[in-house]
């Protein structure tokens, strides 16, 4: 078997792909420009992408292709309809980053909620040392206890976030873009109610036609002026230009983003022009990226390859 890993660096250079070698001859590429995908997969039996787009234009030439193993949970970079038509099974990696994405959700939220950038700068710049007071509470912040926490998407990550929010003393509500009702002890609400009632909204739903641009100008206008938004799901769910306007016009209090409409974030992005760091925090699509989670990605791909070779495919997306 020839196994081609198109974006080995996607899991970091501190994670080894060596275990995959047990199942075939592995060709590792740190990264693959889109124009080189067809060439690199043309003799492959199994392809492991992450963000590279796989569609008819490059898959048609991969005559030996037997399986695609997405090195992530989201697989919108793969033309699943083409793969189904040509009987190419596609697997993804499920639930490998639930704990750390939930953890990062609250890292972003708590940093914003408690104005940590302002307060750490106050100490680092020497202002605290020069103060006559033992404390300094010039920037108002609040407790999460008693607040309404709105979740968009109640999958594995949404449920973990709900558990943590409950532990902080929040009332949890959720909106289901898919229309599904889940067996969870939280109230399902319509989107308009989630916007109007929530003190915090965090996004944990896949990017679909339903969710693309969901958080836009109209949505921000319906939120509380004191509310905060966290997006650790997919960038295009939030219309970034509308978010910038909402922050600058004080329609919402603050936002924390780990994902963006275009990645890497363009240097000219309006998000980088928001000067008040108390109201916007940006991280480089790292919510999923603990060493434990990244190691699980490779381990899970190995399990999927082995299962396929054993005639018992797992984690298939169709």
* Catalytic residue, candidates 159, 234, 279, 294: 234
Q: Tell me, yes or no, if 277 is annotated catalytic.
A: no
Alpha helix ranges (H) inside 126-260: 156-167, 191-197, 217-222, 240-248
Selection from 279, 283, 281 nearest residue 141 by Cα: 279
User: CB neighbours (10 Å) of residue 7?
Assistant: 18
* Cα separations in angstroms, 151 against 2, 178, 193, 209: 42, 13, 12, 19
Residue 263 a catalytic site member = yes
How far out from the chain centre does Cα 109 lie? 15
Is residue 188 within 8 Å of 166, Cβ to Cβ?
no
Among 104, 83, 92, 97, which Cα is nearest to 48's? Answer: 92
Residue 247: strand, helix, or coil: helix
- For this structure, is 234 an active site residue? yes
Cis status, amide bond into 264, omega within 30 of 0? yes
Place of tokens 């396929």: 308
Exactly one of 188, 245, 277, 285 is catalytic; name it: 285
Determine the 3-state secondary structure of 90 from DSSP.
strand
Contact 190, 222 (CB under 8 A): no
Strands of the 280-282 sheet, one edge to the other: 187-188, 171-175, 148-152, 200-203, 228-231, 254-257, 280-282
Q: Which of 22, 56, 190, 263 is catalytic?
A: 263
Total residues belonging to the chain = 318
Using CB atoms within 10 Å of the CB of residue 224, give its burial: 0 to 12 exposed, 13 to 18 middle, 19+ buried: middle
Cα–Cα distance measured from residue 65 to residue 41, given in angstroms and rounded to the nearest whole number = 8
Catalytic residue numbers, as ranges: 234, 263, 285
């Amino acid at each position: 078997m020839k196994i081609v890993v198109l974006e080995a660096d996607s899991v970091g250079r501190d994670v080894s792909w060596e275990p995959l070698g047990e199942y075939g001859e592995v060709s590792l590429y740190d990264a693959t420009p889109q124009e080189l995908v067809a060439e690199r997969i043309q003799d492959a039996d199994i392809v492991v992408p992450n963000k590279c787009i796989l569609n008819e234009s490059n898959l048609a030439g991969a005559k030996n292709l037997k399986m695609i193993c997405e090195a992530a949970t989201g697989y919108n970079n793969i033309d699943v309809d083409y793969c189904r038509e040509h009987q190419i099974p596609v697997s993804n990696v499920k639930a490998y980053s639930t704990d750390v994405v939930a953890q990062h959700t609250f890292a972003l939220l708590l940093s914003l909620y408690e104005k940590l950038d302002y307060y750490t700068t106050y100490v680092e710049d020497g202002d605290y040392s020069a103060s006559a007071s033992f404390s300094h509470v010039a920037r108002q912040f609040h407790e999460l206890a008693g607040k309404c926490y709105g979740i968009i998407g109640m999958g594995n990550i949404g449920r973990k976030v709900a558990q943590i929010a409950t532990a902080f003393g929040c009332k949890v509500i959720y909106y289901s873009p898919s229309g599904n009702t889940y067996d969870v002890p939280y109230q399902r609400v319509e989107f308009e109610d989630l916007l109007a009632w929530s003190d915090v909204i965090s996004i944990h739903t896949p990017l679909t036609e339903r969710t693309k641009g969901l958080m836009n100008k109209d949505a921000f206008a319906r939120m509380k002026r004191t509310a905060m938004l966290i997006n650790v799901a997919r960038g295009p769910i939030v219309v970034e230009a509308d978010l910038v306007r909402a922050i600058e016009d004080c329609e919402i209090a603050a936002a924390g983003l780990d994902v963006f409409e275009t990645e890497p974030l363009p240097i000219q992005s309006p998000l980088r022009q928001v000067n008040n760091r108390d109201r916007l925090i940006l991280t480089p699509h790292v919510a999923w990226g603990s060493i434990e989670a990244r190691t699980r990605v490779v381990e899970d791909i190995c399990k999927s390859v082995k299962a396929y070779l054993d005639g018992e495919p797992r984690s298939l997306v169709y």
